[in-house]
Structure 1
Amino acid sequence: MEMATSFLFPPPPSILVNTMTVVGLAALPVMVLSELRGNNLKYSKFNNNNASSSPSSLSSSSQRFSSVSSRTGMLCLYTPAFLAASASFFLSPSQDLRFLLLKSALSLHFFKRIFEVLFIHKYSGEMASDAAFTISSGYFSSAALVLYSQSFTPGLPEPGLDLKFYGVVMFVVGIVGNMYHHVLLAKLRKEGEGGGKKEYKIPKGGLFGAVICPHYMFEILVFWGFFMISQTIYSMSLAMSTTFYLVGRSYATRRWYLSKFDDFPKHIKALIPFVF
């Protein structure tokens, strides 16, 4: 306990934040096992909404009500969280440097995601509306709770180990590395591709020669950057949740590539070069 207090602020006097922290940590095994077993969130190559019509398929009329275009769905995922982070500058004004850095990092992170949806990623097909709503709610609540938890820290004694500037460095490395590899992924899709059949290729360039999900690896750095900037228990639980979820998702992604490509290089790991 004493070691934890050396790098963490004390738990906030909020039943909501403390409950969500416990819930998030308790859900870790479920999230990982779900991904490992193939019960993936339906917003990527694992999305089967685009399967051709069959007797068991939904009618085209009902599909219109149960799905949205992938681009619209992805915008719905990130926009509420971006608005929450941006609004915090006005709803929770503070001269506290740590709080200001956290607001800025969260706003930049979700702005970057929206920018990628609009100008970098190439999409085809649709996204299930219920998946879009669920994931969007998760991002929004996580961003709001990280900021709400931080709002209790101004005026408190700083943790003995101040990590906020290391967190800024980790966040910058993570967001730049994540975006760079997203650009490489987008270049795999042919110009003009988007409305027809999806075409996947083995990614190349950057760290794709070592791991199949370097963008996830850098995404994990982003969330640990959030934690190091904020140093709250909730942000730590969020970083842990994100890490374990993306570990499971990267494993599922590598397994998917192995099933689709006979020539997939076996030395390419899922997330961590030479390790996993």
Structure 2
Amino acid sequence: MLPHILMRFVYPLPPSLFVSAISLISFASLTNAGFMEIKGKHMQYSKFLNVGSSSADKNIKAKKQLSSKTGMLIFYTPAFLAGLASFALFSDKGYLRFTLLRSALTIHFFKRIFEVLFIHKFSGGMDLEAAIIVSLSYFLSTVTMIYAQHLSKGLPEPLIDLKYVGILLFFMGISGSFYHHFLLSKLRSSKGDKLYKIPQGGLFGLVICPHYLFEVVGFVGVSCISQTFYALSFTFGTIFYLMGRSFATRSWYRSKFDDFPHNTKALIPYIF
């Protein structure tokens, strides 16, 4: 019953073992990463750099650290360039959904680079290994999503067309994410200020990671634009990862601030 309902919303799987395998691997790896965040094994960047590490591990990792700004540029730049290059590599004239998908992915990573360069105020560093892992994940997911969409040309269209709903959700997502990243940047009064504070404004009174919430909304939008199995598996994996990361973030704030609001959730207002 469920597969039959699902097929009303997505393209059939393309004749590609690579795309099918990566769909499963992407979902499994992101879901596992979210579970590891809950268990306390964090990706080593931002406030979680060296959290849970022994003194010996910290000394070793300190030798392989980047500045947060450099690390985040490594996160997003390859995926942005992949999206940009797809316009030169694939023509696919007349395939509106493909053009919309490539545009959404390119805009998403351009926005993230813009925030790194002009919005964020950084503290601490980033583990080189974490920077490489996240960068490869974004790059591979972007390339695979574009390739899966290219392969879907000529396949039967989904019975329910969601691409225009996807456009709306995508722009809601990047707008909300940008706004809350801007609020986070305003928490630090000066460039040298590295102290963490409890975020306020926007949806921060309801959830500690509204920027993650809107990231989810944006990727749900991308999935609706794409309507491929790979986009769907990546989005669900991303949701589970961000649930884990936001849960860990809430726990971190509660451990650092005695006045952290008890009713503030991690990711989903009033629920989680």
Q: How does 1:132-143 map to 2 (within 5 A)?
A: 132-143=131-142
1:47 alignment counterpart: 49
Task: Quote the offset at 1:154 in angstroms.
Answer: 1.8
Are the equivalent residues in 1 in contact too, given 2:46–2:124 (CA < 8 A)? no
Is 1:260 the counterpart of 2:256? The answer is yes
Aligned pairs for 1:80-95 (under 5 A) are: 80-95=78-93
Q: Is the 8 A contact 2:30 2:240 kept in 1?
A: yes
Aligned to 1:58: 59
Separation (CA, whole Å) in 2 of partners of 1:25 and 1:126: 28
Distance 1:186 1:125 in 2: 15
Q: 2:244 aligned to 227, 244, 248, which one?
A: 248
SS at match of 1:27: helix
Q: For this pair of structures, how many residues does the alignment match?
A: 268
Q: Quote the offset at 1:43 in angstroms.
A: 1.5
Change (3 A) 1:236 1:177: same
Question: 1:73-84 to 2 correspondence within 5 Å?
Answer: 73-84=71-82
1:176 lines up with 2:175 in the alignment: yes
- State the TM-score, normalized to the length of structure 1: 0.92
Q: CA deviation at 1:128?
A: 1.1
Tell me the percent identity. Answer: 52
Q: Distance in 2 between matches of 1:238 and 1:56?
A: 32
Q: Report what 2:114 is aligned to.
A: 115
List runs of 5+ in structure 1 lacking aligned partners.
none
Q: Which residue is equivalent to 1:231?
A: 227
1:88: Cα distance to partner?
Answer: 0.4
> Paired residue for 1:2, among 4, 19, 22?
4
> 1:40: Cα distance to partner?
1.0
Deviation at 1:46, TM superposition (A): 0.7
Deviations 1:15-65 (A, max 9, x none): 11100111223335522320101111111111128x9xx677527xx844x
How far apart are 1:12 and its partner, in Å?
Answer: 1.0
Match of 2:213 among 189, 214, 217: 217
Runs of 4+ with deviation above 4 angstroms: 54-57
How far is 1:248 from its partner? 0.8
Classify the secondary structure of the residue corresponding to 1:152. Answer: helix
Find 2:66's aligned residue among 32, 54, 68: 68
Aligned equivalents of 2:49, 2:66: Cα separation in 1: 13
The unaligned stretches of length 5 or more in structure 2 are none
The letter of the residue matching 1:235 is A
In 2, Cα distance between equivalents of 1:106 and 1:26: 22
How many Å separate the matches in 2 of 1:130 and 1:19? 24
Equivalent residue of 2:83, what SS? helix
The letter of the residue matching 1:172 is: F
